[in-house]
């Protein structure tokens, strides 16, 4: 007897009471798909069982699945089909601004601004005073001018785009002069020389890897020189016998030769990190004050806003960027601009931006507070893991991430999960990633470390604890 023919039909399963809530929420299309895919899976399995039994000359009997098992499988398939690909995770890696985990979380004000911009028509490129077409950069330009001391500003979709646009608009067909020690490569093998080549610039490297002097720039400049570029070495540090040319001196050299001076800050910060107990990070205002004609930086790193590339500086140069055809291809949409405006207003209006910007709040958490959290959660996690792992609290060092302050580390504390069987480590890591809100840690010294620096606030801690009830069933299913 072919057991595949004994499986219930699509219509029969579609009418099952447990699937009616799914039909009410989604209609019939998605449930029917889940039913068909589940039936196809069981038909394949029954076919394989029959083939194996025939080879062994055995009788497989009535091994068709019960209807209750089929329905449970269909519901699991529906949950998988409706689960978003972009979903929240617990970032317990010890890297606060984690590129793979979406970098900075937005403030509540920025989230509300995005919701309103998504829900309604907005005056994106419409001048409400004049009643005609406007410039979308004006939504944030005045704020950026006020916060950085620049004459003008423009915004594109990320800092790499900001650098590319600046180089293309100002230096295409000419020489871009940069210190050899600043030929940076960031994530994804994105290299400054490649950006310059794409922009149509001719790269001129000066100095040595560890030492560059003012005379190196002066001697390299000529009739074909279009720009002096300084790239902030945000994702590495050269130590020891080193020398670099101060920004103010580079500005003087550039202006004596009649060419602009551009600084790529990378992360960019709009507050003095020393007031938060953190190492100093260069600010756009400092670069402008030092004489830079253009400064580029990111919106979604130390700024704590959405992904964006910000360019501030000389009014005439910014105008050239805005008029370049590439600007339209790289421009930001209304959601990005809404979130960025709200973030910038926080810096302008608040005496303590770290209170409302999650990234700054997590960076400023002190190790004692994190240690108290570890003490609370250690027995809870240990009770869940029981015979799987020993859970302890240990000191660790967090990093800012995304190329920010590559040498400096922040004192923190972590839950450290030592599996009783070494082969279970990867399984435990996989199970934590499979929780309703995945938990992402890091494997270090044969254990799974969960740095709690980013588990900030009572709500986050409560959500972390509440979903631990699902860990053991998931562990059992992966046996």
The reply to whether 444 and 417 lie within a common domain is: yes
Could you tell me how many residues make up the chain? 479
Decide which of 305, 321, 354 is a domain's last residue.
Answer: 354
Q: Name the domain count of the chain.
A: 3
The reply to whether 131 and 223 lie within a common domain is: yes
The reply to whether 294 and 339 lie within a common domain is: yes
Asked if 407 and 443 count as a contact pair (C-beta separation under 8 A), the reply is: no
CA gap 416, 418 in Å, rounded: 6
The reply to whether 196 and 237 lie within a common domain is: yes
* Phi and psi angles of residue 117, each rounded to the nearest 5 degrees, phi first: -65, -35
Tokens linked to 119? 């829900």
Decide which of 295, 329, 354 is a domain's last residue.
Answer: 354
The reply to whether 374 and 338 lie within a common domain is: no
Strands, E assignment, 249-306:
261-266, 294-298
What angle, rounded to 10 degrees, do the helices at 458-466 and 367-385 form? 10
Helix/strand/coil for 473: helix
The reply to whether 179 and 214 lie within a common domain is: yes
CA gap 103, 109 in Å, rounded: 18
The reply to whether 139 and 280 lie within a common domain is: yes
CA gap 248, 245 in Å, rounded: 8
What is the extent of the structural domain holding 164? 108-354
The reply to whether 458 and 424 lie within a common domain is: yes
The reply to whether 383 and 438 lie within a common domain is: yes
Helix/strand/coil for 78: helix
Contacts 24+ apart (CB under 8 A), 16-22: 16/67, 16/71, 18/71, 18/75, 19/71, 19/74, 19/75, 22/75, 22/78
The reply to whether 139 and 157 lie within a common domain is: yes
The reply to whether 180 and 268 lie within a common domain is: yes
**For the domain that residue 388 is a member of, what is the CATH number?**
3.90.1150.110
The reply to whether 96 and 78 lie within a common domain is: no
pLDDT digit of tens for each residue in the chain (479 aa)?
Answer: 455 667 888 999 999 999 999 999 999 999 999 999 999 988 888 776 556 554 444 444 455 678 888 999 999 999 999 999 999 999 999 999 999 999 999 999 999 999 999 999 999 999 999 999 999 999 999 999 999 999 999 999 999 999 999 999 999 999 999 998 887 766 555 677 888 888 888 998 988 878 889 898 899 899 999 999 998 876 556 666 777 888 999 999 999 999 999 999 988 889 988 888 888 888 999 999 999 999 999 999 999 999 999 999 999 999 999 999 999 999 999 999 999 999 999 999 988 898 899 999 999 999 999 999 999 999 999 999 999 999 999 999 999 886 665 557 899 999 999 999 989 999 999 999 999 999 999 999 999 999 999 999 899 999 999 999 999 988 988 87
Decide which of 296, 325, 354 is a domain's last residue.
Answer: 354
């Amino acid at each position: 007897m072919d057991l595949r023919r004994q499986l219930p039909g699509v219509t029969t399963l579609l009418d099952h009471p447990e699937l009616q809530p799914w039909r009410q929420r989604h209609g019939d299309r998605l449930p029917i798909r889940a039913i068909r895919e589940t039936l196809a899976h069981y038909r394949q399995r029954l076919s394989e069982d029959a083939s194996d039994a025939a080879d062994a000359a055995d009788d497989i009997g009535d091994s068709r699945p019960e209807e209750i098992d089929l329905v449970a499988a269909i519901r699991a398939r529906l949950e998988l089909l409706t689960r978003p690909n972009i979903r929240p995770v617990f970032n317990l890696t010890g890297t606060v601004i984690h590129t793979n985990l979406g970098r900075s979380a937005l403030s509540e004000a920025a989230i509300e601004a995005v919701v309103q911009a998504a829900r309604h028509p907005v005056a994106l490129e419409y001048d409400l005073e004049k009643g005609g077409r406007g410039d979308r950069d004006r939504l944030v330009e005045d704020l950026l001018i006020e916060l950085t001391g620049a004459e003008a500003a423009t915004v594109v979709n990320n800092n790499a785009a900001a650098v590319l646009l600046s180089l293309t608009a100002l230096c295409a067909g000419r020489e871009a002069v940069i210190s050899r020690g600043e030929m940076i490569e960031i994530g994804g093998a994105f290299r400054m020389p490649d950006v310059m080549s794409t922009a149509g610039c001719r790269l001129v490297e000066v100095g040595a890897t560890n030492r560059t002097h003012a005379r190196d720039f002066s001697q390299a400049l000529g009739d074909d020189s279009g720009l002096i570029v300084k790239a902030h070495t945000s994702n590495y540090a050269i130590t020891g016998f080193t020398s670099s040319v101060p920004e103010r001196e580079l500005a003087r050299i550039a202006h004596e030769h009649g060419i602009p001076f551009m600084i790529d800050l990378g992360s960019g910060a709009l507050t003095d990190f020393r007031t938060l107990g953190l190492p100093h990070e260069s600010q756009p205002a400092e670069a402008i004050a030092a004489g830079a004609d253009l400064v580029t930086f990111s919106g979604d790193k130390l700024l704590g806003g959405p992904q964006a590339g910000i360019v501030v500086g000389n009014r005439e140069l910014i105008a050239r960027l805005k008029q370049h055809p590439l600007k339209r291809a790289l421009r930001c949409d209304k959601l990005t601009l809404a979130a960025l405006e709200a973030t910038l207003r926080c810096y302008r209006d608040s005496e303590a931006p770290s209170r409302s910007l999650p990234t700054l709040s997590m960076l400023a958490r002190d190790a004692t507070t994190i240690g108290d959290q570890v003490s609370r959660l250690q027995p809870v996690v240990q009770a869940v893991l029981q015979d799987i792992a020993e859970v302890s609290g240990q000191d660790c060092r967090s990093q800012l991430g995304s190329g920010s302050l590559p040498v400096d580390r922040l004192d923190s504390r972590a839950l450290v999960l030592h599996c009783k069987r070494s082969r279970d480590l990867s399984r435990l890591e996989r199970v934590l990633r499979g929780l309703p809100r995945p938990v992402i840690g890091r494997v270090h010294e044969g254990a799974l470390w969960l740095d709690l620096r980013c588990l900030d606030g009572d709500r986050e801690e409560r959500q972390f604890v509440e979903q631990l009830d699902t860990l053991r069933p998931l562990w059992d299913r992966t046996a």
